[in-house]
Structure 1
């Protein structure tokens, strides 16, 4: 048996995360002593390993709980699936790294690159948040988004990704201002308009998406790469925009 701090140190996750897994019924220790110590068994550690494999593949905790709690869940089958998906992820990352290396040589004038080569490794068909989006806002907006993206050329999809990054960077420059400021609202309107080029998001869905940026740590981590606190700022700005334009 291992105490929660020992498990945290062994695995590299925080004690807080383990407490959270217990609170939501995802991973509860086999034993809790009279003095309140959580004691994790080897079986608990095997379950934790499964959870972390799923997290690495961007599964939400709610979905992980649903999967591993299913009577039909098979650990060996799950491990085989993890291996297959991680290999696919590694292949995509390797392709993107090769593209980066080529692009570095291209910018130095050492090689020539075709437009197609500039976007090798990008794959917008892989969306780890698709199921969550379907659950929150229904199939229609997601299907419309996939249809629109699927009709775009690789170059246009990449341009769309760069436009998203440009808006993130622009908003990051305003995050010390009020989310209701004219500059922030002009930038968040660009974000709303861009999302509606890919799908059909109501003002209420737009506001809900902003909340998700803060509630889901994966969104927060990705968005805050452009500036600490950007996810929370976008949530507030999106709420102001939605409420103002109803």
Structure 2
């Protein structure tokens, strides 16, 4: 029958609290058996494998509510999933290596041991930006849009000039300011201001998207209210900004 674990034993083995194990069970991600003698939870080897996959997905930044469709069922699917996890971990390692190198060179520059060009500083930052986004959203984005689209986006980010990056950041700030003002003033997102903000957002996307479509724009906007991470970004000053932006894009994106 194979080795089985009580909840406390699995918690000690995995480094995850018993409370977290019960939470994953309530979320439908784990389904332990029960000991017929006392009714206690009993975890088999396949439960341990499933927990490992859950923890890897969580480490890669996947929200608990989004994990279930990503969990594998067959050995081949599990192998493919683990290969994706490995890619994510290697990307994270590369990000740390890049950041370490940048910090080391910056310290050396401050000590007068070398001179870093603006291009070197900026290149390290861009790579850190891409790798951080891969760590936080990469698996979900690749599952939704495909590897080719995400790789093309990453190439666009890495190809940005310093001027392009500054303009991209300025557009983001303009969008946030416009959203805050519109929500505070109770302006309708379906009107002229909504069209203006939608166009600003389209311009902002043009710096990272290889091509544009209104359908994809509207789909992205839906994620701003469906994903709490995006909502928190847009609503950090005034609640309702993410929903207003979604509604403006839904009304005006073509």
> 2: CA distance between counterparts of 1:143 and 1:195?
13
SS at match of 2:204: helix
Cα RMSD after superposing both structures = 4.8
> 2: CA distance between counterparts of 1:130 and 1:241?
20
> 2: CA distance between counterparts of 1:204 and 1:187?
17
Q: Deviation at 1:201?
A: 3.6
Q: 1:17 to 1:78 in 2, by over 3 A?
A: closer
Aligned to 2:246: 238
Quick check: 1:48 aligned with 2:51? Answer: yes
> 2: CA distance between counterparts of 1:73 and 1:153?
36
Aligned to 2:200: 190
Aligned to 2:177: 170
Provide TM-score, normalisation by structure 1. 0.62
Q: What does 1:1-246 align with in structure 2 at a 5 Å threshold?
A: 1-2=6-7, 10=17, 13=20, 16-20=23-27, 22=28, 26-31=29-34, 39=41, 41=43, 43=45, 44-58=47-61, 61=67, 64-65=70-71, 68-73=72-77, 82=85, 85-99=88-102, 112-118=115-121, 119-120=123-124, 122-123=126-127, 124=130, 127=134, 128=138, 129-134=140-145, 142=149, 145-146=152-153, 149=156, 152-153=159-160, 155=162, 158-159=165-166, 162-163=169-170, 165-167=172-174, 169-170=176-177, 173-174=180-181, 177=184, 178=186, 180=188, 186-197=196-207, 198-216=209-227, 220-221=228-229, 224-225=232-233, 227-228=235-236, 233-244=241-252
Q: Deviation at 1:92?
A: 1.0
> 2: CA distance between counterparts of 1:72 and 1:104?
47
Provide TM-score, normalisation by structure 2. 0.60
Q: Is the 8 A contact 1:174 1:184 kept in 2?
A: no
State the aligned residue count: 227
- Structure 2 unaligned blocks of 5 or more: 1-5
Q: 1:209 to 1:70 in 2, by over 3 A?
A: same
Q: Deviation at 1:107?
A: 8.8
- Structure 1 unaligned blocks of 5 or more: none
> 2: CA distance between counterparts of 1:116 and 1:122?
10
Q: 1:147 to 1:85 in 2, by over 3 A?
A: closer
Q: Deviations over 1:50-70 (max 9, x none)?
A: 2211332346525532xx212
